[in-house]
Amino acid sequence: MKIIKYLSIVMVLIIGVTQCKLPDNVDPKNPTEVPIETIFTNAEVALLNQVDEINVNRNISRLIAQYHQETTYFDEARYLFIDRQIPDNYTVEFYRDALIDLKKAKELLADWGGNATERDNKIAMASILEVYGWHCIVDAFGDMPYSEALQLDKNSTPVYDDAAGIYADLLTRLDAAIGMLKAGGSYGGADVLFGGDVNAWKTFGYSLKLRLGMRLADVNATAAKTAVEAAAPNVYADQGESAILHYVGVVPNVNAIYTAFIVDGRKDYLPTNTIIDLMNSLDDPRRPLWFTQVDDGSGNMIYKGAVAGLDAAQTYSNFSNFSAMFFEASFPAIISDYVETEFLMAEAVERGFVSGDAATHYNNAITASILYWGGTQADADTYLANPDVAYATAAGDWHQKIGTQKWIALYNRGIEGWAEWRRLDYPILNVPEGMVYNDIPKRMPYPYNEALQNEANYDAAVAKMGGVDDRRQRIFWDVN
């Protein structure tokens, strides 16, 4: 998307040069104005790309959630964050490439002289994306620079805000943004997620509010219930309303998996035994939709996952691979969807936050997931009739039922899958070789450059956690 940004700048320069001679004190290589729409698009694409990213330098959430395992190089699947400075790169993508641009777009809109409704809608959409980005950051690290962040040279050493306080402010900001959205103009085609559809953004905002509210369920039930009650009537009604980024399919606007395997020509990832063994045990109809089969050595074709967390390389051809659709350049990235909200609604009913039938929401979520990936209603009905899947008979309490099926349905959504595993504590993941279960990360370590560039505030944040910046420390909402 940066290429598009640069091309836009070049076009502005060409037009300017052909119309008049530039003054001597104007640098033609550094324009002072870029269209608001261009800034918004760049931020939106950067944010959504980072959420969907698979590159181990920038986002290893699929590895942590044990959806994927590495082949030749395996340090990142064993939680070695420092060699590639993964936390630093993860935050750079959010702060520098998304949040800074969203902030700038809103600043420009504040002084924009156009239609007031259109202006407010544009500000609101940027604000909803900001909330989404900030919550991804907090969920990864806990306390982080927030109130003093994004000030560039005005403040290069921002304080670390309390994570629970950030969440409370995000809900306030989200309410304000949703309230600003009115029928009228917006970004139009510059919005790659919803094409400027105001109603779609409002539904996305409420669905995000439902997610944030449920994150608080174990630590602030009152705030959670308030948020959920307000959001529940307005969330996605079907999968077609979901926030799904449909890539154009032309480099650089392609899916992250396509970039990793096709553009870069690498075979670094395999599906894990964690997810394949679980799906095998349930006879899950999504297996042939997601994975290929491999010969077991006796001529039998089976689904076989690479060992999650193994302290050794694993041969790509010895295991099930991803199905063909994952390698399509236009393969979409799911940011937030009806499947997720239905699982959240099932949980909300169980917690007494809203009325309804938890089993119905649970069944809706599973059915929608199977249909979305190309399965049939008959597949869904058969799966839901399995005693180990059916809400009434599946073993364990609702945490286990919802947590297990939600983790499966969130496949290929590493950030959200990792978060919900931490919050609901299911399914039981595999213990990486030579480790114990508690070694599976509950958070990322802080960006390593912070200890050098923002030492005092970094030290204060680490002291609050007991003096150790450790991946085993829990995020504030992860209490069980």
N- to C-terminal Cα distance for the chain? 40
Helix H or strand E encompassing 367: helix 358-372
| 97 three-class SS | helix
Domains of the chain, earliest start first: 1-34 (no CATH), 35-255+331-464 (1.25.40.390)
Please state, rounded to an integer, the average pLDDT across all residues of the chain: 93
pLDDT in tens, 53-70: 999 999 999 999 999 999
Assess whether pLDDT exceeds 70 at residue 76.
yes
Total-model pTM = 0.92
The whole-number pLDDT of residue 28 equals 52
Helix H or strand E encompassing 334: strand 333-336
33 or 293: which leads in pLDDT:
293
| 299 three-class SS | coil
Assess whether pLDDT exceeds 50 at residue 1.
no
HSE-CB of 111 using CA atoms within 13 angstroms = 4
**Which range, of 14-23, 115-124, 303-312, 440-449, averages the lowest pLDDT?**
14-23
What are the DSSP calls for 425-478, one per residue? --SPPPPPTT--GGGS-SSPPPPTTHHHHSHHHHHHHHHHTTS---TTSPPTT-
pLDDT in tens, 139-193: 999 999 999 999 988 999 999 999 999 999 999 999 999 999 999 999 999 999 9
Question: For the residues 275-285, what does the mean pLDDT come to?
Answer: 98
| 336 three-class SS | strand
Q: Which residue from 230, 191, 194 is spatially nearest to 210, judged by alpha carbons?
A: 230
What confidence tier does 383 reach under pLDDT thresholds 50, 70, 90?
very high
Residue with tokens 């559809």: 197
Assess whether pLDDT exceeds 60 at residue 7.
no
